[in-house]
Amino acid sequence: MAVEGAAGMYLQDNEFWGLVEKKIVDEGLWRYLDLLQSAKLLSCLARVGRASDEMVELLEKHFIKHRKGLTPEVISIAQEGFSRINKGSEIMHRVLADPKTQLPALE
């Protein structure tokens, strides 16, 4: 909720966003986010230009791993986030276009 609020008001406080990055990436809090929360996190970070490569990579792997659980709402929010930051691998975009995509190398 704090991230959504900060992104909503376009907060540009380096200390706050550094703490968010530390908690989510370094301390592994991303593992406790469901797909909708992960998509919203990506969207919020993209809104304020704070989506680091490491954070994007973690979220991307999370979406790909759990692709069969992606709902239209999650897909829409994630696509908006990846589009806004202009990041995301070809595989990620394929998964968002069709969550049932077979990815043999990842199975």
Domain that holds residue 45: 2-102
Question: pLDDT digits over 26-49, tens only?
Answer: 999 999 999 999 999 999 999 999
Angle value at C-alpha 55, between 69 and 53, nearest 5 degrees: 125
Query: How many domains are there within the chain?
Result: 1
Question: pLDDT digits over 83-94, tens only?
Answer: 999 887 888 888
Question: pLDDT digits over 56-88, tens only?
Answer: 999 999 999 999 999 999 999 999 999 999 887
Tell me if 107 is assigned to some domain.
no
| pLDDT score at 105 | 59
Tell me if 54 is assigned to some domain.
yes
